Amino acid sequence: MENVVQVEVRWSECDPFSIVFYPNFFVWFDHCTWKLFQAARLELPMLREKFGFAGMPLVGAESAFSRPVRAHDAVAIHSRVSHWGRTSFKVTHRVMLGAEQAAQGLETRVWTCTRPDEPAGIKAVRIPREVIDILDGPAPR
């Protein structure tokens, strides 16, 4: 399952060199991961109730940038889970500017649940089979 999000670059997402300030690509990646889950009908309230889900913090993030993106450009970001570990997973994001790829990013996230007895109150746990099956399957209609 892949999800595509259209992003129109805001003026304010560009820096004084008139190109996108690079951390904003990661802002988009994060947004696209949430949209991927939403497209799969894995919404936050349901995840909280059903699995005790407490977020999916990042342990790693990276991106390669191959061409500049500018204010008011319209990009399409293609996102999918590209790897499942036991408690962690990777989301790949391709930023397309028309037919050309402008950037490719990778987020490594950890699946966590609330654990009142833990010092941080949360704990990395095994990713639910159901979540994996949905995100590995076809997009819901």
Query: ∠ at Cα 108 (18, 61), nearest 5°?
Result: 25
Residue 125 near residue 47 (C-beta atoms within 8 A): no
Q: Which of 1, 2, 3, 19 is in the footprint of a copy of itself by CB under 8 A?
A: 19
- Report helix, strand or coil for 20: strand
Contacts of 133 (CB under 8 A, 6+ apart): none
Piece of the chain touching a copy of itself by CB under 8 A; list 29-37, 82-90, 91-99, 124-132: 29-37
Does position 82 interact with a copy of itself (CB under 8 A)? The reply is: no
Nearer to a copy of itself, 74 or 133 (CB): 74
Token pair recorded at residue 92: 């790949």
State the residues that interact with a copy of itself by CB under 8 A.
10-12, 14-19, 21-24, 26-27, 30-31, 34, 38, 44, 54-55, 57-66, 68, 71-72, 120
